[in-house]
Structure 1
Amino acid sequence: MMNPKDPSEIQNKSLILSRYFDQRVGSEEVFAFTTKAHILRECVHNASADNFSVLHAGSVFAGNSASVADNDILLIDNLVEVLLPEQLVSEEIKHKTVLYMKESDCPPGYRLLQLCQLGRKCSRWLNDSLVTVGDAVFVSNENCKKVSMETMGAVSKPLLSSGSLDIIFSLKCNSWPKEAYEFTTRTRLFAWPSQLMVDKIIHDGCELIPVGDQYSRDNSLQWKISFAAAERQIVYSLNHVQRKVFILLKHLLQEIERTLNDNGVCNDMLNSYVMKTALFVAGENSHQNFWQEQNLFFCFWFCYNIVLSWVKSGYCPNFFIPTKNIFNRPIHVQNQQKLFHILNDFHQRKWMSLSVVKFFGPSVLEQLSNERVQSVLTSPETTENIEWRRDVGVMECLKMDITANKTSRAGMQACKAADLLLRTESDSDEMIAYYKTCVTLSNMALIVYTDRTLATDNKARYKSLKKCKHLLLPRASIGTSLLYLATFHFHLGTYWKALDICRQVISNGYFDTSPMNTRQSRRYIDEFCNKGYTLYHKLKTGYTPALQLQELLSLPHLQPEISKCPVGMHIPPLPYAAFLSFLCCHELGDIKGRDGALREMIVVKYDAQQGGHRHWIVHTLLGICYQTIGDTRRAVRAYMDSHDSPAALQEFNPARERIDALRSSDIG
């Protein structure tokens, strides 16, 4: 595809590029689902928040593709109130610990936190982070980072999931910092962000995180002012074209970083925050009508030129505090020149710069040059395909919530989830809220299951177990989540019931609804789309998430994995169903059934989506099967396959310990 020069030709190609984005990284409707799912998850979690609440931030809210998504979570201590120097302690916060923001020659965007009073209930991290300087007491960011890691691990465990995730400890200031005053009075010729949004941003204040300016001589007492909540509100207001531009910028950033690495140049200037800032600045300085599909490339190029000018000048102004240079560090002049040269080289290519941007496999430009791809993108999308994309979007949102919440909070969270469910309007929103309600009910089942040990007689124990089962049933009605109920039956010793469920799951098959799996997607469309089925009906069969087993209700055979993995053990459904079938048959003395389940395990090990090359736990499950029947040699080999698997999260894999234990027992 040649470099188009005619603006109308670029607009036509921009339309194709925009549709390519819809197919690869999600339509506008899918992005809306994702945003709502994150908000719902946060609302339900914070409904029972006592000492800590959470704020989801990061570029996941801008609708990134998975390959560049990062999911930042701010963990906010609710027992601490941060005030501006001139503010007084009100009656509402007299019971809290109160800190004052102090400038004290800090660089722009940083403040000291001086203690005003300790609250009646004070977090341990704060007590251990107080430092006396003269007559004043300040909060050390270094001590805070050391002490809060343990606290964060305990509080944030329910929030963890696979993928790129940063959990950041923070404090909340409900006032707008003075040095960001310019943002409140800035002239906005195109009324974006709107005055209503600006007022809300100012009302919500800012956050402070325990990070000092690394180039200050004494930064151990400095705290960085963060505008995570403000940025999130602005990101919510982006239209779909602006989200696509951000995705393009981030993918291009990846290629720039590779080019820098290949040339031995350190990238000490560009990051995704710079790209997001460029998008904000571009949005503020252009009419909203500019951000349309046919202008996608022009919009991307506008942002790219902003980044190029910042690199050339060595100054990137913070969107809220323009006096703060995001490049604020001793920039290596030679690196700056090399970076500008690389950026300028891409700039000369214009449309052809897309030849280096990749999502999956070939570059964007190469994909768009393919006649078959062009034909698909320029043809009207069928109603079946539109329905399929909507369903996939909902399923991806549901997968965000496979983690279990802290069981002691499950009751309050269930109430909040049910309240949100009653206020939903669309079919998709209702499904997301319903599933969240089911998840919180299943978390309550863990409490009930734990309480069974306190039952004084068999009648009370039976009543407790019956209640536990009823709480599990709603979630078990959706796809392969039925396997949680099978695990419950295995614990009860009703192995034949667990076995029936496993066989049902295996016989139903599964769907990999990812856009990359054409065969499975086609099967889903043929079976479910444009046939009048409700979303709930389709998800009963088509929703196949990984299971996440927590310590309270998991198989004892997996204790080494569950105890080592802080986020719970994620297991794909088909291998787990085959594994649980093997265990049930073993307990029932059904040798023929057990051997059949073992063969099923061997077959599923090579499954394209759920096999051992993508999930090391699959090899481990096979090893446990071999160990159960006394085949030590094959068990060791399976554990070695698990240890050597290219799958992610190997740091939580205890395969080596299993091998050592087996070999030690043989020696003994």
Structure 2
Amino acid sequence: MDVQTMSESVYVGMCIKIGTPQQVASRRDIVDMVELLGNQRGVGRSMDSGSQREGFRFHDSDIDTMFWPTNHRVIWDLSQSEYYNLHRQALILCDSSESPAGFTLLWLPLESAAQIVLSSCVRMNGGLYISSSKYRENVCASLTPDSRIHGPCSTSTEGSENYLTLDHDEANCFVSDVWPPSASSWIDRCHSWPPLHVVNDIVRNGCHFVAIGHKLGNHEDNEWRISFSQAEYKLVYSMNHTQFLTYGLMKLFLKEIINKELRDEETQLCSYHMKTAVFWAIQQNTLPQWCPQNLLAGFWVCFRLLIKWVYEGICPNFFIPENNMFLSKIHGQAQTSLFRRLYGLYEKGIALLLHSPSIRSSIIDVLCNPRLTVCTDEHTLISEAEFDVELFREIHGSDAHRTSDLQLCMKILHTVEQLIGSPLSQYQVVSLQKHTATILQCTAFTLHKCTNTGVNKQMYIADKMPCHMLKLVAKFGCVSDMLYIAMYYYKTLRYREALSVIEMTKVKLAQPYLMYLDRVDRERYTEAVGGQSWSTKIRQAVAMNIKLVNKICYINELLPEQQSCTLSSSHTLLIPPYVLLHMLEFLSSRHVDTVRAQTALDELQVLVHHDQGPLIPFYHRDISWEILGICQQMAGNLQAALYSYQQSLRQYPDHKIQTATTKRINDLHIPT
């Protein structure tokens, strides 16, 4: 058996399952861009963490986000207070004297802080300390009604752009600009990995503190855990692709073999243990070369290290080795039982991976064909169109910087202006292009609302800026972004101009090479725009769902639906572009061409009644039936409208518009 060929086969299988180097790089760059634009609010900052941030896209990966206030800083020594303006920032002092390694108490020496912090404090040793358990409870109570406490996080369940239901973990924490003294030994260990510039960047950015104490500590309810999430994603970024896939292989090994058929409360090992094993294995130079031919050897090194830790009952934290992460869970009979299970797998050799559904076929291919030659060149693993589908879906899913706050819009646009002249990757360029289009359309509609004075001259002057912005959106946004200027023209009673834009949009949306979500004719797409820049592709060949910010009125006809969404703590309404196109054509034509209005309504009805997914995804059928009902009601066909509203109520309630739908049904007043 040729182990190197088998490693190459698994490498290829993992690239298809987890992502090629290009796919992983694009995901990370897009997340980085979103974070950069999102952190323009003055009161706090946020950071994505966990596997999504690292570049994985497993279907069941939770979304992890960390939030921290910018007007609070944690220091390790009172002498560090000289670096801060005490009028602007509340200082929090670490007190690790009574806590296990990796944990600390947080003391307020001046007893001045935000109200939510002060209300989370307890008196200890004559001082005021922030209780982690109280802080968790107070933060969770201030979030959405369905939020629940999960470890140090507030967790809520939400849909995603990929039409999955995921848990979103939000960890509200504090930040320190200073690297923890207890982790100073980590700096001294970094001789071969990570590179010096990565070490310096990590140390320069300090650490965070998340609201959970050590289960065996003296102050479990009040302690805080030192978090190295920011350092960890930078370490993962610095891995080569074989090392990254080894980490992914360890995660799959955990999920599909070690923890298979175990309930959450029965599991002893977690993904963080796998990550820690990979970090140590890379840093200790246990493998001379991390390359596709050595992928399985790298996995085996990490697996042996994991077994050693379980046997000894010690899993040393990568940054603070004195913090034994097995201490509170893996000991006694549980430790013995887990070691026997792992050693039983170890005795099977690499054949143990045949138990993994994700990896099995890659191994069987080599076993059945010993002379198999494997090509690991990433350009042979995924076509241009397939890569673009994921890239634009990623950009669409991360396009969340929608706001009705004009001041925030200006801040983001100012950041965009600064970024244009800075060195950006090709993925960041196209991502920035779409985000800019989004913030421009939000600014345009918000400006219209703020300047709608009713005075003709002022309105004329005030109208020029939103029009200019929306023309820019249509110029460098995606194809479907043209519908925003059509909505604006309709809103400002320029029906013929709206119809002119709608006609152009209709032609572009009808092109056979157009990409919409996962729907694309790959051959025609490649023939039309293959080899061109992603900036060109998004303008000429990509359509996305129309997202309406619920605090902004785009057209009056959809206000009840937006208000219904808002009641359910939903911030945006997502509409398939083909549905909105027909709706706008119907609405605008009613004022200038009644025959065309009826044709548009007929086309909308055929689309909603007969489309099985290509143009109206499953999760958007509730709003699509709703829009059909609105148009039918306006046309005077009340029975058809009633049927459409009833159909809307029968769909998956993704948009939370049932309140609006029920009211519309009650307002029909159909005679019995």
CA contact (8 A) 1:417 1:437 kept: yes
Residue aligning to 2:115? 124
Q: Is the 8 A contact 2:207 2:227 kept in 1?
A: yes
Residue of structure 1 in register with 2:57 after alignment: 65
2:11 matched to 1:13? no
Deviation at 1:326?
2.1
- Cα distance per residue 1:406-451 (max 9 Å; x no partner): 4321212212222222223655443333333333333322431231
- Greater mean deviation of Cα atoms: 502-511 or 443-452: 502-511
* 8 Å CA contact 2:513, 2:528 repeated in 1: no
Q: Deviations over 1:302-328 (max 9, x none)?
A: 223323333344332211111222233
> Which shifted more, 319-328 or 210-219?
210-219
* Matched AA of 1:175: V
Q: Take 2:23 and 2:658, find their aligned partners in 1: how far apart are those partners?
A: 38
List per-residue Cα deviations over 1:110-167 (Å, max 9, x = no partner): 2111112256xx533223223333531111223322333476779x99x996555322
Partner residue, 2:183: 180
Q: Work out whether 1:402 is the aligned partner of 2:399.
A: yes
Tell me, in whole angstroms, the C-alpha distance in 2 between the residues paired with 1:424 and 1:85: 38
**By how many angstroms is 1:236 displaced?**
1.7
1:250 Cα deviation after fit: 2.1
C-alpha displacement at 1:172, in angstroms?
A: 0.9
Q: Which residue of 2 aligns with 1:3?
A: none
Q: Are residues 494 and 143 of structure 1, via their aligned partners in 2, closer, same or farther at CA, if it must alter by over 3 Å?
A: farther
Q: Is the deviation greater in 233-242 or in 307-316?
A: 307-316
Q: Secondary structure at the match of 2:618?
A: coil
Q: Does 1:436 align with 2:426?
A: no
Question: Which residue is equivalent to 2:104?
Answer: 111
CA distance in 1, matches of 2:102, 2:621: 43
CA–CA separation in structure 2 for the residues paired with 1:658 and 1:214: 49
Structure 2-normalised TM-score? 0.83
Cα distance change on mapping 1:382 and 1:525 into 2, 3 Å: farther
Q: 1:638 maps to what in 2?
A: 647
Match of 2:489 in 1: 489
AA partner of residue 487 (structure 2)? T
Residue pair 2:280, 2:318 contacting (<8 A) in 1 also: yes
CA distance in 1, matches of 2:373, 2:571: 40
Identity of aligned pairs, percent? 21
Contact 2:316–2:322 (Cα < 8 Å) also in 1: yes
Give the aligned partner of residue 242 of structure 2.
Answer: 241
Cα gap change, 1:170/1:266 in structure 2, threshold over 3 Å: closer, same or farther?
closer
In structure 1, the residue matched to 2:149 is: none
Separation in 2, partners of 1:79, 1:331 = 39
Give me the TM-score of the superposition, normalised by structure 1: 0.84
Decide which moves more: 170-179 or 247-256: 247-256
Q: For residues 44 and 343 of structure 2, what CA distance do their matches in structure 1 show?
A: 46
CA distance in 2, matches of 1:474, 1:370: 57
- Counterpart of 2:546 in structure 1 is 547
Q: 1:342 to 1:179 in 2, by over 3 A?
A: same
Is 1:461 aligned to 2:462, yes or no?
no
Q: 1-side partners of 2:582 and 2:372: how far apart?
A: 42
Q: Cα distance, 1:398 vs. partner?
A: 2.3
CA shift at 1:339, angstroms? 4.3
Contact 1:472 1:485 in 2 (8 A): yes
Q: 1:562 aligns with which of 552, 560, 565?
A: 565
Task: Give 3-state SS (helix, strand or coil) of 2:105's partner.
Answer: strand
| Offset, 1:340 | 4.2
Offset, 1:336: 4.5
Provide the rounded CA distance (Å) in 2 between the counterparts of 1:265 and 1:416: 43
1:59 Cα deviation after fit = 1.6
Corresponding position of 2:137: 146
* Number of matched pairs: 638
Q: Measured at CA, do residues 656 and 245 of structure 1 come closer, stay the same or move farther in structure 2, by a change above 3 Å?
A: farther
Q: Secondary structure at the match of 2:173?
A: strand
The yes-or-no answer on 1:85 pairing with 2:73 is no
Change beyond 3 A, Cα 1:486–1:167: farther
- Name the CA distance, whole Å, in 2 between partners of 1:165 and 1:370: 41
Q: Distance in 1 between matches of 2:548 and 2:246?
A: 38
User: Match of 1:260, SS?
Assistant: coil
Greater helix share, 1 or 2?
Answer: 1
Q: Whole-Å Cα distance in 2 between the matches of residues 338 and 608 of structure 1?
A: 50
1:55–1:611 Cα change, 3 Å: closer
1:213 is aligned to 214
Residue 304 of structure 2 is matched in structure 1 by: 305
Q: How far is 1:227 from its partner?
A: 0.8
Task: Output aligned runs, 1:254-403, within 5 Å.
Answer: 254-256=255-257, 259-261=260-262, 266-286=265-285, 290-331=289-330, 335-358=334-357, 364-365=361-362, 368=365, 378=375, 387-388=384-385, 391-392=388-389, 394-403=391-400
Structure 2: runs of 5 or more not aligned = 146-154
Determine the C-alpha separation between the residues in 2 that align with 1:325 and 1:384.
41
Q: CA deviation at 1:405?
A: 4.1
Once the two structures are TM-superposed, the CA of residue 292 in structure 1 deviates from its matched residue by 0.6
Question: Closer, same or farther in 2 for the Cα pair 1:559/1:386, shift >3 Å?
Answer: closer
Could you say if the C-alpha distance between residues 253 and 630 of structure 1 is closer, same or farther in structure 2, counting changes exceeding 3 Å? farther
Deviations 1:500-551 (A, max 9, x none): 425345423674588x87x733332233214xx3433322233223332102
Please say if residues 394 and 432 of structure 1, whose CA atoms lie closer than 8 Å, have aligned partners that are also in contact.
Answer: no
Residue 597 (structure 1) aligned with residue 621 (structure 2): no
Asked if structure 1 preserves the Cα contact closer than 8 Å seen for 2:310 and 2:330, the reply is no
Alignment correspondent of 2:420: 421
- Deviation of residue 474 (structure 1)? 2.8
Alpha-carbon offset, residue 207 of structure 1: 0.6
Are the aligned partners of 2:99 and 2:218 in contact in 1 as well (CA < 8 Å)?
no
Secondary structure of the corresponding residue to residue 166 of structure 1: strand
Structure 2 letter corresponding to 1:403: A
Q: Residue in 1 aligned with 2:658?
A: 655
Greater displacement, 616-625 / 241-250? 616-625
Following TM superposition, by how much is the alpha carbon of 1:392 offset from its aligned partner in structure 2, in angstroms? Answer: 4.3
Superposition deviation, residue 652 in structure 1: 5.4
Distance 1:497 1:297, change over 3 A: farther
Q: Which structure 1 residue ranges, 5 or more long, are not aligned?
A: 1-5
**Structure-2 separation of matches of 1:625 and 1:348:** 67
Q: Where does residue 15 of structure 2 map in the other structure?
A: 22
Aligned residue in 1 for 2:150:
none
Q: Distance in 2 between matches of 1:483 and 1:337?
A: 63
Root-mean-square deviation over aligned CA pairs: 3.8
Q: Is the 8 A contact 1:208 1:223 kept in 2?
A: yes
